[in-house]
Each structure stands twice: as structure tokens, then as C-alpha cells.
Structure 1
Amino acid sequence: MASIKKEQYAIAPRSRVLVTGANGFIGSHVVQQLLSLGYVVRGTVRSQKPWLDELFRSKYGPNSFESVVIPDLSDYDTLRKAMRDVSGVIHVLDADGMTVDTWNEATVKAAFDEGTPADAKPFTVYVASKTEGERAAWKWVKDNKPPFVFNAILPYYTVSERMGQALMSSYNSSRAYQWSLNKI
């Protein structure tokens, strides 16, 4: 794999980057990668997570990471404050969340298919939420023509170590999928 020289990065190292959902599985890995490349990171969390600041500051220094509590990303005043002095935003948080009432047509079909195992339905809902979230993002870009580059990264499945012990208690689709494989 070809590597990019730091001088060619769109955002220079030592710049501040905002990462939404910094305490999540993907978000915590994004934060770690940014910090390892020399960026300063501000991470959003829905509620106070003191262990998160300690985790990253102990490894990358006292001024490397700060968390900011934003319970609701539709609170634009709080979000605007969090975005002050940042050079980039990496949005990995599922802002709307998902429930069993969050469907797309394929998910509805799978949910009502008698062959779909009950423990697979949460994963199906997760996939539907990601599909609809991306559709909404591309529509917004098309309608608003923002002055930045929008990218959608679509990992099918992620497996890695957890960043901190507190993350072990979170139940997500990757963990559910691993659990279901262990049952086979």
C-alpha cells in the first residue's frame, strides 16, 4: 500500500480534528489513529466519559485529546461551539440512533421473513439505519453543495481490540455477530 507523505495531507498534523462518537468502537479507533499521526482531537460523547480523556491523554499527552458532551447533535449551538477551531470533522456517530421501528424496505422484508432468526433482527435494523443515514447524507450534499469534500466509508464488519475497559459493556452489531458465530 502506498503511503502519503505528511506534507500531502489535506489537513496538516497538529491541527485539531473533531470526531463524533469518540467513545464508540469505530470512533475510538479513529481518535487513536489521528493522535498517532500527530493531530489534536476533540471528541464528542453523549454523556461524560472521564476514562476516555484519561485513556488518550496518558498515551499521547495532556493536550492531545479533549471530550465534549453533546447529548443531541441537533443542538446546533452546542455543536457549533464544539467545532470552533477545528480543521476537519470525522462523523462516525449514528446521530439518530436506531430502534426496531427504524426500517428500510429490505429490512422490513427480512424482519417479516420467517427464516430470519430473531437474534439477527437487531443487526438487520443496524444495516438499515446505516443505509438510510448514507442516503440522507448524499442527498444533503446534493441539495446544499457544501464547500468541502464528503466521503462515505462503508465497512461491512469491524473486529479489533477495544480501546478501554468501559467499551466492553457496549453491545453493538459486531459484538452480536461474533456472539452468534460462537454459537455455531
Structure 2
Amino acid sequence: MEEPNSIIMSTIPKGSTVLITGVNGFIASHVADEFLAAGYDVRGTARSMAKADWLYERFDKTYGKGKFECVEVADMVHEGAFDEAVKGVSGICHLASVLSFSSNPDEVIPPTVKGTLNILTSASKEPSVKSVVYTSSSTAALLPQPNKEIKVTKDTWDDAAVEAAYQPNPDAFTVYGASKTEAERAVWKAFKETKPPFQVATVLPNANFGTILQPGGENSSSTGSWVVKLWNGDASILDFPPQWFVDVRDTAKLHVAALIDPSANGQRIFAFAEPYSWNKLLAILRKQNPDRQFLEDKEGEGEDLCQIPNEDAEALLQKHYGHGWTPLEESLRANTATLKA
């Protein structure tokens, strides 16, 4: 685990407590790991304490007891849901979201927005809070559109997903994209209207590959399980269109940088490393594992041709960690390491 380079001024000094909502998730567990490695204490939230048992086991062993704690927030939509959790924390990373992948927009969009506004409300009532990062998604800017040359800017929003989500029979991926679009937009609306006494940034990751920290996490619905499906010959994953990838460890490091770096205030940070296709992933997996059989290439797959404003994100990685994006080959190797045992 790498420790961030020291910078002249940090919004949150080391030794402070950072709150990470939905801490047992694929990305959130890495965010917690990076903050602990960087010298911060971490308080997580989970829908039940049992979901955090594996985190205590992992973090107590790695960083010592008392550096990590978890509190239960059973329903983030409940008024004041995060009031107790935010007490005494210096920073907040809000990763909890509705991941039911229901195709019913009313079951996904309003609770995602409400939970996000709840964390901001709780933060505004806690004077210790100096910085908040909201984990948005690439889908808040656009859904994958292979073979289309699209220029994405920091002002690009996925209005098409929001509109489509409320049409008859929307697909679950579109509804999820609409929820992240509306939630992130609510963050910036609140930021503009209330001018909070803490800095705010959002991180928009595309498909996250890389190490899965949770035992048994290979069977989750996270994008980290997509590579596992390729490994196991599950062709259903090929239905997802090609898009961009980012190593989950880089996404986590960007959360650290966005929370502690004053220059991140007011910024949308695009965690997009490079485009990928299933055929490209399969070619890498075959090269790395010559004795294993994989799926045949997908015909007529296409590629993602979008232009993404990811330069500031890579600059934050360079500034705080001394490197840019983790290469796709390295990320896949980490993603499959535990599958070879």
C-alpha cells in the first residue's frame, strides 16, 4: 500500500477520522484501505454490522486495532440517518448507493438522491467536517456508446438516461445511470445554493477492475466480478458494451486526493484510465494464462471512442502518489490472482 506524498497544505491532517459510507462495498473497501494506509482513522457505515466483520478482521490485522470502526446505518433514506455517524469526523466519502439494479426508477432514483442529500445535511450540522467527496459514476456523464466519437466535458450530464429511465420498460443499467446523474447533480445544486463550510468534490469512476478485497467478493455484482466471469467462461458479461476501465486502487487513491487536496474543491474528477473491449481483455488473459481456455472473441464488438477529461485525475495521482494510471494488464493480473490458488 502506497502512502501519499506530503503536500504543502492538506484539508485534513493525518490522524483525523474519515467516514466512508457503504464501506463493505468493492470500491469503498479499497477507499478505506487507502485512507488507513495514508495514516487516517476510518469509520465506515454498513446496513448491518455483520457486513463489516471481514473488514475488522482485515484492517485490525494490517493496521492495528482501533484504526477502523463501523457503525450501522440500516436505511440511508431515513431522516438524520447519518447524524451520529458524522460526529467528530473531518472528512466524508459517500459511496453508499442503491445497487439493487431494479428497473423500476422509483425504487432506485429517489432513495439514491435522498441518501446523498442526507449525508450533506448531516455534514452541514457537524462543525468538524472539512471535506466531502461524493462517489458518482461514469454513467452520470454518459452511458457507453460504442463507435461514436463523443467529447465529454466536465459539464456533460447523462440527461438521456434520466429521460429513458421514466419511459416504459427501461433497463436496469439505464435506471442506475439516471440515479447517479440525479444524485450528483443534487450535490452540485446544494453546493452552489448553500455554500457549505467544507470543500466538495465528486469522483466519476468507469468500470473498476483489480483486486477484490472481500472474501467471496468474486460473486458480487461489482465490476470487479466481470473479469471473474470472463475467467469462468460466463458469456453473459459480453452483453455489456465496451467502455473505459480504471483500476480500483486508483479510484481509491483519487478519493484520498480529492478529500485532502484543496485544489479538488468544486471539481468533477473523471476516473477513466483507458478504453477496453472484451476482446482486448480476453487477449490479455490468454497471454497471462497460456494454459487456460477462454471464451472465443466476440464478433462485431466495436470500441469506445469517447474523449474524456481525465487529465486532472491523472495529475492528482501523480501529485499524491508519484504515478499515473495503473495499466490494464496489471489490473487484470491483480483481478485474477486469487482465482489461481
Q: What is the distance in 2 between the residues matched to 1:41 and 1:23?
A: 12
Which residue number in structure 1 is paired with residue 33 of structure 2? Answer: 32
Which residue number in structure 2 is paired with residue 57 of structure 1? Answer: 60
Unaligned runs of 5+ in 1: 113-117
Over aligned residue pairs, what C-alpha RMSD do you find?
A: 3.0
Tell me the CA shift for residue 173 of structure 1: 5.0
Between 1:50-59 and 1:162-171, the stretch displaced more is 162-171
Question: In 2, are the aligned partners of 1:15 and 1:87 still within 8 Å (CA)?
Answer: yes
Q: What is the distance in 2 between the residues matched to 1:160 and 1:67?
A: 24
Q: 1:76 to 1:12 in 2, by over 3 A?
A: farther
Which residue number in structure 2 is paired with residue 16 of structure 1? Answer: 17
Tell me the CA shift for residue 9 of structure 1: 2.1
Question: In 1, are the aligned partners of 2:218 and 2:225 still within 8 Å (CA)?
Answer: no
In structure 1, give the amino acid aligned to 2:22: G
Tell me the CA shift for residue 133 of structure 1: 1.1
Tell me the CA shift for residue 72 of structure 1: 1.4
Matched, 1:141 2:188: no
Provide the aligned length of Structure 1 versus Structure 2: 176
Q: What is the distance in 2 between the residues matched to 1:125 and 1:176?
A: 20
Q: 1:92 to 1:69 in 2, by over 3 A?
A: same
Mapping of residues 1-184 of structure 1, within 5 Å: 4-5=5-6, 8-48=9-49, 49=51, 50-94=53-97, 99-102=102-105, 106-107=160-161, 109=164, 121-173=171-223, 175=225, 179-180=237-238, 181=278, 184=298
Which residue number in structure 2 is paired with residue 115 of structure 1? Answer: none
Question: In 1, are the aligned partners of 2:26 and 2:224 still within 8 Å (CA)?
Answer: no
In structure 1, give the amino acid aligned to 2:70: S
Question: In 2, are the aligned partners of 1:45 and 1:69 still within 8 Å (CA)?
Answer: yes
Tell me the CA shift for residue 71 of structure 1: 1.1
Question: In 2, are the aligned partners of 1:98 and 1:129 still within 8 Å (CA)?
Answer: no
| 1:106-156, Cα deviation, whole Å (9 max, x unpaired) | 2354997xxxxx9xx333332222111111111122222211111111112
Question: In 1, are the aligned partners of 2:47 and 2:72 still within 8 Å (CA)?
Answer: yes
Between 1:43-52 and 1:162-171, the stretch displaced more is 162-171
Unaligned runs of 5+ in 2: 110-157, 230-236, 239-277, 283-294, 299-341
Question: In 2, are the aligned partners of 1:126 and 1:173 still within 8 Å (CA)?
Answer: no
Q: What is the distance in 1 between the residues matched to 2:79 and 2:62?
A: 32
Q: What is the distance in 2 between the residues matched to 1:174 and 1:163?
A: 10
Q: Taking structure 1 as the reference length, what is the TM-score of the superposition?
A: 0.80
Q: What is the distance in 2 between the residues matched to 1:77 and 1:129?
A: 21
Q: 1:105 to 1:38 in 2, by over 3 A?
A: closer
| 1:44-69, Cα deviation, whole Å (9 max, x unpaired) | 11112211211211111101101111
Q: Taking structure 2 as the reference length, what is the TM-score of the superposition?
A: 0.46
Q: What is the distance in 2 between the residues matched to 1:89 and 1:81?
A: 13
Question: In 2, are the aligned partners of 1:16 and 1:85 still within 8 Å (CA)?
Answer: yes
Question: In 1, are the aligned partners of 2:21 and 2:44 still within 8 Å (CA)?
Answer: yes
Question: In 2, are the aligned partners of 1:55 and 1:164 still within 8 Å (CA)?
Answer: no
